[in-house]
Chains A and B, each alone.
Chain A
Amino acid sequence: MHTKMTLTSLLAISLTVLLCVLWGAPLLWAISTALRPEAQTVDGLQWLPDPVVFDAFVRVLTMGDLPVFFVNSVVTSLAVTVLTLLITVLAAYSFSQLRFKGANLLFWCCMFGIIFPFEALVIPLFRQIYHLGLADSLGGVILPQVVSPMVLFVLKRFFDQVPKDFREAAVLDGAREWQILHRVYLPLSRNIIYAMAIITFMGAWNNFLWPFLVVSSTENMTIPIGLTQLNDTYGVRYAQTMASALIGGLPVAIMYVMFQKRVASGFLAATGLKG
Chain B
Amino acid sequence: MSSVSLKNIKKTYPNGNAVIHGVDLEIKQGEFIVFVGPSGCGKSTLLRMIAGLEEISTGDLHIGSQRANDIDAARRGVAMVFQSYALYPHLTVAENMGFSLLFNKTRKEEITARVNKVAETLQLAHLLERKPAELSGGQRQRVAIGRAIVREPEVFLFDEPLSNLDAALRGQMRTELARLHQKLGTTMIYVTHDQVEAMTLGERIVVFNKGHIEQVGSPLELYQRPATEFVATFLGMPKMNMLSCKLKGKEAGRWQLTPGDDIEIPAPEGLFDCTDRNAIKVGIRPEHLLVGAEGAAGHHFRGRVSLVENLGDAAILHIKCEGVERLLLAKINTDGRVPACDETVSLTIALDNLHLFGEQGQSLRR
Contacts of B100 in A (CB 8 A): 172-174
Contacts of A170 in B (CB 8 A): 99
Contact partner of B88 (CB less than 8 A), chosen from A174, A184, A190, is: A184
Q: What sequence of 0s and 1s flags, for each residue 43-83 of chain B, a beta carbon within 8 Å of any chain A beta carbon?
A: 00000000111000000000000000000011100111011
Cα–Cα, bound, A174→B76 (Å): 10
> Is A169 in the interface zone, CB < 8 Å from B?
yes
Question: From residue 176 to 193 of chain A, which have CB atoms closer than 8 A to chain B?
Answer: 176, 179, 183-184, 187-188, 190
Contact partner of B90 (CB less than 8 A), chosen from A173, A179, A188, is: A188
B88 touches A171 (CB 8 A): no
Q: A171-B53, A171-B74 are in contact. Are A163 and B84 (CB under 8 A)?
A: yes
Question: From residue 121 to 176 of chain A, which have CB atoms closer than 8 A to chain B?
Answer: 163, 165-166, 168-176
Cα–Cα, bound, A166→B151 (Å): 17
Question: From residue 109 to 124 of chain B, which have CB atoms closer than 8 A to chain A?
Answer: none
CB-nearest residue of chain A to B96: A169
> Is B86 in the interface zone, CB < 8 Å from A?
yes
Chain B interface size, as a band, is: 20 to 34
A189 to chain B, nearest CB (A): 10
Contact partner of B74 (CB less than 8 A), chosen from A165, A173, A184, is: A173
Contact partner of B86 (CB less than 8 A), chosen from A163, A175, A183, is: A163
A172 touches B80 (CB 8 A): yes
Chain A interface size, as a band, is: 10 to 19
Q: A165-B84, A168-B53 are in contact. Are A174 and B90 (CB under 8 A)?
A: no
Cα–Cα, bound, A184→B51 (Å): 20
B74 touches A172 (CB 8 A): yes
Contacts of A163 in B (CB 8 A): 84, 86
Contacts of A169 in B (CB 8 A): 80, 82, 86
A172 touches B84 (CB 8 A): no
CB-nearest residue of chain A to B74: A174
> Is B104 in the interface zone, CB < 8 Å from A?
yes
CB-nearest residue of chain B to A163: B84
Q: A173-B151, A187-B90, A188-B89 are in contact. Are A168 and B103 (CB under 8 A)?
A: no
Contacts of B90 in A (CB 8 A): 187-188, 190
Contacts of A168 in B (CB 8 A): 53, 80, 82, 86
Contact partner of A173 (CB less than 8 A), chosen from B52, B84, B85, B99, is: B99
Contacts of A183 in B (CB 8 A): 99, 102
Q: A165-B86, A168-B53, A188-B89 are in contact. Are A174 and B80 (CB under 8 A)?
A: no
CB-nearest residue of chain A to B90: A187
Indicate the member of A170, A172, A188, A190 with the most B CB atoms within 10 Å: A172
B144 to chain A, nearest CB (A): 9
Contacts of B75 in A (CB 8 A): 174
Contacts of A174 in B (CB 8 A): 74-75, 100, 103-104
Cα–Cα, bound, A174→B102 (Å): 9
CB-nearest residue of chain B to A173: B100
Contacts of A190 in B (CB 8 A): 90
B103 touches A173 (CB 8 A): yes
B103 touches A179 (CB 8 A): yes
B88 touches A166 (CB 8 A): yes
Q: A174-B74, A175-B103 are in contact. Are A165 and B53 (CB under 8 A)?
A: no
B141 to chain A, nearest CB (A): 14
B118 to chain A, nearest CB (A): 15
- 24 A-B pairs (CB sep. < 8 Å): A163-B86, A165-B83, A165-B84, A165-B85, A165-B86, A166-B88, A169-B86, A171-B73, A171-B74, A172-B74, A172-B79, A172-B80, A172-B100, A173-B74, A173-B151, A174-B75, A174-B104, A175-B74, A175-B103, A176-B103, A179-B103, A183-B99, A188-B90, A190-B90
Q: List 12 other contacts, CB 8 Å, given A169-B86, A171-B73, A179-B103.
A: A163-B84, A163-B86, A165-B85, A166-B86, A168-B53, A168-B80, A168-B82, A171-B53, A172-B79, A174-B103, A175-B103, A188-B90
Closest 3 CB pairs of A and B: A174-B74, A173-B100, A165-B86
Question: Which B residues are within 8 Å of any A CB, using their own CB?
Answer: 51-53, 73-75, 78-80, 82-86, 88-90, 99-100, 102-104, 151
